């Protein structure tokens, strides 16, 4: 069964840090592009960061310099290191996997709340 299981979300104060993890199973992880998306209440889901199968990364302008996406192919795990968090980062964060042939999988999401 294909599974993407996010973890690491929670409540953090502005300026704090969190590391999100996405454990993948049921598909050839190292052959898929991976990414993080987020959705805040009342807003559309937006791309946060991507990392392709060869390791190249891209980030939304709003998180550049603060977030770092990485992957550990030996552990089938995707990470998102989130530093200098802002209230505007509050959202449900989703793990995404996409093959070069456009097959896509989604995780269930993990809540990140940035508040004093």
Span 71-98, average pLDDT? 98
pLDDT 10s digits, 20-76:
999 999 999 999 999 999 999 999 999 999 999 999 999 999 999 999 999 999 999
Q: Are 14 and 87 in contact, with CB atoms under 8 Å apart?
A: yes
């Amino acid at each position: 069964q294909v599974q993407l299981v996010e973890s690491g979300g929670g409540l953090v104060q502005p300026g704090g840090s969190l590391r999100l993890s996405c454990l993948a199973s049921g598909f050839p992880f190292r052959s898929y592009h991976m990414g993080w998306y987020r959705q805040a209440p009342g807003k559309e889901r937006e791309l946060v960061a991507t990392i392709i199968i060869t390791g190249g990364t891209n980030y939304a302008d709003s998180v550049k310099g603060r977030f770092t996406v990485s992957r550990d192919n030996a552990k089938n795990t995707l990470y998102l290191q989130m530093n200098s968090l802002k209230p505007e980062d509050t959202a449900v964060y989703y793990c995404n996997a996409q093959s070069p042939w456009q097959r896509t999988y989604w995780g269930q999401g993990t809540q990140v709340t940035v508040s004093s």
